[in-house]
Amino acid sequence: MHNVVIIGSGCAGNTAAIYTARAGLNPIVIAGHEPGGQLSLTTEVENFPGFPEGIQGPELVENMKKQAQRFGAEYRHGTVIEADLSKKPVRLNMDGEWIETRSLIIASGASARWLNLPSEQKLIGHGVSSCATCDGFFYRGKEIMVVGGGDTAMEEANFLTRFGRRVTLVHRRNEFRASKIMLDRAMANPKIEIVTPAAVQEVEDGGTGLVTGVTLKNLETGEVWRREVDGLFVAIGHIPNTKPFAGQMDLDADGYIVSHGGARTSVTGVFHAGDVQDRVYRQAITAAGAGCMAAIEAERYLEAEEH
Ligand code: NDP
């Protein structure tokens, strides 16, 4: 039986691990299916305080992990596939192994949303990507397409013009969810062509195993046409990683954990930290702050439980 188990090894989970380890609680961190979280998928981080010259995302998150390990946090490779929060101690199924814990910090983050076309799924990592900062480099001088109408899509489209010959931004509506400044920037970029209202119907590889083109449909006129592209970046939002907790705690309609004040969830002794609850700020520094809050809450909960 553990004092505290932390699900997730991104900024939130690692910070919770540093705090709970320093409090002598011997935390167990379950690294999850994307170890290091979203920072491990980025390059330069320029807005994390304390690094005047910036720092690489993977280095930042690795440093946090080392810091937590220095105080005794134990990291385990694995993913929580099932949970029982109905009684104490809380039980977690990590890839078939059941783990019991007196308190739990859920810092499992949010994962990229996909179009869910079989042809798209087949070509992830072979021309289909959800991370421009990770994969943009591979498309120097190439034809790139970005799908989405939010800030992420605008940001990725702008970023990808550093590499691509042309970036086509495809969005399903004529109105954009993106903030005006981000949309204006994309519209003013001569290398970005915006196509609306349109949807990607099929991703093609022409038998090569790499993306060669897409089939697009105009959602107003029904017109269908083909476009040659080398890289397809899907930027249509994220899905919080809360599947094992569905029906066991308050989640909102999109699956994000509902906060019950501070880092508290609807289940006593279970706390949230980072993007699994935060759909607004989604920053490394806010996730780190949330990890600290969850750790302090868990510490106080355990202390109160003992008295
Ligand atoms: P959003 O939820 O804001 O936007 C998702 C976009 O994808 C929408 O335009 C949506 O279309 C579209 N979409 C969703 N599902 C599908 C689908 N199945 N097929 C086609 N299109 C689809 O997500 P973002 O990731 O863009 O942004 C998330 C949050 O992060 C926002 O609050 C954003 O402001 C913030 N952010 C801020 C940045 C910054 O300030 N620098 C940078 C990046 C993100 P529709 O509009 O029709 O629903």
Is residue 86 within 8 A of residue 266, CB to CB? The reply is no
The pick from 156, 183, 236, 286 for probing ligand 1's pocket by mutation, whose C-beta has the most ligand atoms within 8 angstroms, reads: 236
Are residues 59 and 155 both part of a single domain? no
Are residues 139 and 175 both part of a single domain? yes
Are residues 205 and 128 both part of a single domain? yes
Residue 134: predicted pLDDT:
74
- 186-237 pLDDT tens trace: 999 999 999 999 999 999 999 999 999 999 999 999 999 999 999 999 999 9
Are residues 222 and 263 both part of a single domain? no
34 lines ligand 1 (CB under 6 A): no
Are residues 185 and 212 both part of a single domain? yes
Identify the CATH number of the domain in which residue 187 sits: 3.50.50.60
Is residue 70 within 8 A of residue 160, CB to CB? The reply is no
Are residues 161 and 202 both part of a single domain? yes
Look up the domain containing 214 and give its range. Answer: 114-234
Are residues 219 and 262 both part of a single domain? no
Q: Which residues of the chain register pLDDT less than 50?
A: none
Are residues 79 and 224 both part of a single domain? no
CA distances from 125 to 122, 145, 164, 180, 209 (A): 9, 15, 17, 31, 10
Q: How many domains does the chain have?
A: 2
Query: What are the catalytic residues?
Result: 131, 134-135
The pick from 121, 152, 279, 285 for probing ligand 1's pocket by mutation, whose C-beta has the most ligand atoms within 8 angstroms, reads: 152
Are residues 46 and 118 both part of a single domain? no
- The answer to pTM > 0.85 is no
Are residues 76 and 133 both part of a single domain? no
89 lines ligand 1 (CB under 6 A): no
H or E segment at 154?
Answer: helix 151-160
264 lines ligand 1 (CB under 6 A): no
Centroid of chain to Cα 101: 25
Count other Cβ atoms within 10 Å, centred on residue 168: 22
Are residues 35 and 183 both part of a single domain? no
